[in-house]
Amino acid sequence: MPASVLDQVMDFYGDLFRGLFIKPFSEEIPDRRRRNEMSRRVEALADAASQSTIRMLTNQRASETDVARILNDLRPLSVVTNAEALAETRDTTQGLVDHLLPKLPGFQSVAEGHQSGLYRATLHSILQSLLLIAPVLQEWRKLGFATTYEPPERVIRQLDDISKGMDEQSRMLYAARTEAKDRDCELIYRDYLAQRFY
C-alpha cells in the first residue's frame, strides 16, 4: 500500500531538490560544514515547496495510489532539466509545463488515462515552486554560498503564502463543483417528480 500523500510528496521533493540543487552544488563546496549548511537550507526550501502540492492533491481528493503513479512518472524531472535552465528560463509556468511534458517518459500513459488533468496540475505546482526557487539559488551559487545570504528564507515565506492561496483556491473550486452537482441533482429530482406526479 502506498504511503500517505504527505509522505510521498515530501519524499519526491527531497529527491528532486537533491538531484537539481544539492548534488551539483555540493561538488562546488569543498568545506564539509558549508556543504551541510547549504544542504539544510535547500532541504528547508524543498519542505516549503512541497506544501502547495500536498494541499492541491489533498483538496483534489487524489488517492495515494494515483499520487504514487503520478509522482513516479515525474521522477525524471531532475534529469530533463537542471538548476541553470530553471533559473534562466523566460517561460511562464504553463509554458514550461508544455515544454517539459513531452520529455517525461510516463506522460503518454497518463495522458491517455483519466488522471491527465491531475498530472498536469501536479507538474504545474512543482514547476511554479521551482521557478521561484531556482533563480534565488543560482544567485546564492554565484556568491559562493555565503552564509549571510538571506533570500532562501524569504522564498520560504513566499512559498507559504502561495500554499495558503492555493489551499483557498482549491476549497473554492471544490465548493463550486459540489454546488453544481447539487444543482444537477435537484434538476434531475424535479424532473422525476414532474414526470411521476404529472
pLDDT, position 26: 94
pLDDT digits (tens, 9 = 90+) for 10-66: 999 999 999 999 999 999 999 999 999 999 989 998 998 898 899 888 888 888 998
Is the CB of residue 48 less than 8 Å from the CB of residue 159?
yes
Q: How far apart are CA 186 and CA 170, in angstroms?
A: 24
Domain that holds residue 131: 5-196
Average of per-residue pLDDT across 70-75: 91
Q: Compute the radius of gyration of the chain from its Cα atoms.
A: 21
pLDDT, position 189: 56
pLDDT digits (tens, 9 = 90+) for 102-132: 888 876 666 566 577 888 889 998 998 899 8
pLDDT digits (tens, 9 = 90+) for 167-196: 555 555 555 556 666 666 565 656 655 665
pLDDT, position 81: 92
For residue 36, CA distances in Å to 28, 101, 133 come to 12, 33, 19
Q: How many domains does the chain have?
A: 1
Beta-carbon-side half-sphere exposure of residue 163 (alpha carbons within 13 Å):
21
Side chain identity at 166, as an amino acid letter?
M
Is the CB of residue 163 less than 8 Å from the CB of residue 132?
no
pTM of the entire predicted model: 0.77
138, pLDDT greater than 80: yes
